[in-house]
Amino acid sequence: MTRPAAIPTETRARQITDQYLNDCRTNGKRPSVLALATRLGLSNTTFRRHFPQQAKEIAALRSHPSSPAAHEAQPSPYDVLIARNAKLRRTNRALTENLHYAAAHIQRLALDNARLRQAMEASRNITHINQPDRRRRP
């Protein structure tokens, strides 16, 4: 069994939290509760249990960053366009593949239809309407 961790005071935890958040702002990193808990020498669960306000503060900063570094993390319009083109190419490739499958099925059905018509005409002695009538009188 592990020994209990030394829990820092509220003031010490606030100082380390402020220092950590300043480091994150200067480095352009997103803060995390786990990283702060590690700096304090605590496990994530212990930190959240003893310092819920700091955990909520970091979670809010992580989900809604308002720093200029957050704007840099967003993709540029060019990157968005490249991603959209790649998605359209994948969709186009899939649709083209489906079109080829549909055309092949239509061809197969047309051949099956022709064979079935021939078999039906042979079994019933049916003549085509568009054949010239041989009994015509001159």
| Residue at 97: amino acid letter | E
Q: pLDDT digits over 11-54, tens only?
A: 888 999 899 989 888 888 888 888 888 888 888 888 888 889 98
Long-range contacts of the stretch 115-121 (C-beta < 8 A, 24+):
none
| Residue at 37: amino acid letter | A
Alpha carbon 3 to chain centroid, angstroms = 44
Q: pLDDT digits over 17-28, tens only?
A: 899 989 888 888
Ranges of H-type helices in 1-138: 10-27, 33-40, 44-50, 52-63, 68-73, 77-124
| Residue at 2: amino acid letter | T
Residue with tokens 């540029």: 76
Are 47 and 37 in contact, with CB atoms under 8 Å apart? yes
- Smallest Cα–Cα separation from 3: which of 42, 34, 38? 42
